[in-house]
Amino acid sequence: MGQTVMLIYEDLVELARMCARNAQITTTREVADELWRMAKEYQAQAAEMGDFPEIGNEPPAGSPGP
User: CA-based Rg of the chain, rounded to a whole angstrom?
Assistant: 13
pLDDT for 8 equals 95
Q: pLDDT band for position 62 (50/70/90)?
A: low
pLDDT in tens, 34-60: 999 999 999 999 999 999 999 999 988
Residue 43 lies in a domain: yes
Residue 55 lies in a domain: no
Residue 23 lies in a domain: yes
Residue 27 lies in a domain: yes
pLDDT for 4 equals 77
pLDDT for 48 equals 95
Give the range of the structural domain holding residue 34, as residue numbers without chain letter. 9-49
Looking at the 3D structure of the chain, how many domains does it have?
A: 1
DSSP state of 60: P
Contacts 24+ apart (CB under 8 A), 41-44: 42/12, 42/13, 42/15, 42/16, 43/12, 43/13, 43/16
